[in-house]
Amino acid sequence: MHLIETRELTHVYRGSIRALESVNFIAERKARIAVIGPNGAGKSTLFKHFNGILKPTSGGVLVRGEPITKENLREVRKFVGIVFQNPDDQIISPTVEQDIAFGPINLGLDEETVAHRVEEALRLLGIEDLRERAPHHLSGGEKKRVAIAGILAMEPQVLVLDEPTAGLDPQGVEDLVTFINRLPEDYGMTVIFSTHHLDLVAEMADFIYVMDRGKVMGSGTVEEVFARP
Ligand code: ADP
Ligand code: ADP
């Protein structure tokens, strides 16, 4: 059984934009998967199917072998956490600490567990010193870390990151690479991300999907995808 699988997944937005066309995608436990391709290739649209934010026009999405339904949507969203490209969309609280606590509180966890998860997330992202700050006044890179910490505090098994390296300075990128690489080893997590930084893909991913105009043009290990003549 795969953690996430799409079968001939097709998504047509209102009107007639065919954003995904028969996409077959598989994510296994502890995998690091990069989805690459130009703007408009369908990467974000694909990600939004992983936790039921969008519904397939045709084809299907299986999470732990089960289709996403009204009944299991909450469980699916606990299992698959998505950090979107624009961190402002996910920041809602007056302080960083409260912002990160929002997800775990929503899951109905007790106060002590929430506090513990917030600490862990602050530490993992290296943002302990930002805890009292107002998220809206942080830099883009700091906001990004807060957004990732907030999703991480819900302890998803699968972490999906839409363009996590966009707008980061070189140190920020390096920290992110280190962070992503720890998740499968230390926490048994699966990481799926899109990026334009092709130079980083070899360091950050075991498996790559190449998308263009809604289709998967190729997939394979880093060696397979980049070694083509
Ligand atoms: P990527 O993440 O690879 O840049 P997207 O999934 O964002 O690609 O977009 C795929 C296609 O779907 C593009 O043509 C885009 O303009 C279109 N699209 C994305 N979101 C919407 C939307 N909410 N309504 C209509 N079209 C959309
Ligand atoms: P509704 O439209 O039914 O209110 P939402 O899509 O707003 O549903 O969210 C339902 C649940 O999923 C909420 O508990 C919310 O916190 C959670 N959720 C929303 N977005 C994400 C995400 N990107 N990753 C993980 N969980 C999310």
Q: Walk along the chain (229 residues) in steps of 10 and give the mean pLDDT of each run.
A: 96 93 97 96 98 97 97 96 84 91 94 97 95 92 93 96 90 91 94 91 94 97 82
Q: Is the CB of 76 under 6 A from ligand 2?
A: no
Which one-letter DSSP state was computed for residue 92? -
The 10 Å Cβ neighbour count of residue 40 is 14
pTM, rounded to two decimals: 0.88
pLDDT of residue 229: 61
Name the token pair of 201.
Answer: 């893909």
Residue 104 in 3-state DSSP?
helix
| Nearest Cα residue to 27 out of 63, 3, 43 | 3
Check: CB of residue 44 under 8 Å from CB of residue 194. Answer: yes
Which ligand 1 atom sits nearest the alpha carbon of residue 15? 25
What is the rounded distance in angstroms from the CA atom of residue 83 to the CA atom of residue 90? Answer: 8
Per residue in 78-122, pLDDT (tens digit) is: 999 999 988 777 777 999 999 999 999 999 999 999 999 999 999
52 Cβ closer than 6 Å to some ligand 2 atom: no
Whether 135 lines ligand 2, by a CB cut-off of 6 Å, is no
d(CA 151, CA 162) in angstroms, rounded, equals 13
